[in-house]
Structure 1
Amino acid sequence: MLDWDDYLQQLKTTIGEIGKLSPKTLHGYQELATAGSATGQLDPKIRELISLAVAVTLRCDGCITTHTSAAIKHGATREEIAEALGVAISVNAGAALVYSARVMDAYAQKTA
């Protein structure tokens, strides 16, 4: 099992190094990361639950550790996180089904 806190610290170090080499890139990312919350339409806990579902969909371990910590900080329960992950699982399964239909379409076209 991954030590998620250790991994988060490693990421912060490495990303800090990237920031020194390419400060505008890191600044642009930080601007993008905070821009969505500027409207205040979603509370921070809901934003973090969405972030976790997206992190699973994108298979991003860095996002998982970062947003799990933030979700806990904003009061997300294990049950709420599980429900958000259920949405990610459902959407990913649906996407696989849609893309399976594309494979069948490609097959039909190539064998016609």
Structure 2
Amino acid sequence: MLIDTDDYAPKLKQAIGELGAAAPATLAGFQALDGAAARSGTLDAKTRELIALAVAVTTRCDGCIALHSAAAAKAGASRDEVAQALSVAIALNAGAALVYSARALDAFGQQSG
């Protein structure tokens, strides 16, 4: 096990609570944004959590992975569905690296000549 999410998630929630106590407007703004995404009504909870989990991987957010993997399981996602969503995240990251590599090469070309 790379990260014990059963141990990590409660500690993360506590730390976020402490941050919220120090910066309540910031936490309230985040909660409003998160709540609005959950109330979209078009996508079911399982689909939203699969998307969130894939995005969590692309943004390299351990806390998001811990929380959204639990939410995906609670919403009924299967291991195969999670693996397929993560496959999309992997492909997107590779695609983003390709696009930004082209941009970097272009930027280098602008500097050298």
Report the TM-score range of the alignment, normalised by the length of the smaller protein. Answer: over 0.9
Taking the aligned partners of 2:79 and 2:102, their CA distance within structure 1 comes to 35
C-alpha deviations, 1:49-108, integer Å up to 9, x for none?
000010000000000000000000000000000000000000110010011111211222
CA RMSD of superposed structures (Å): 0.9
Matching residue of 1:100: 101
Residue 8 of structure 1 corresponds to 9
1:27 match: 28
Structure 1: gaps (5+ residues): none
- Of residues 12-21 and 62-71 in structure 1, the stretch that sits farther from structure 2 once superposed is 12-21
Identify unmatched segments of 5+ residues in structure 2. none
Cα offset for 1:39? Answer: 2.5
Structure 1: distance between partners of 2:57 and 2:83: 12
List 4+ stretches of structure 1 deviating above 6 A. none
The amino acid of 1:81's aligned partner reads V
State TM-score, norm by structure 1: 0.95
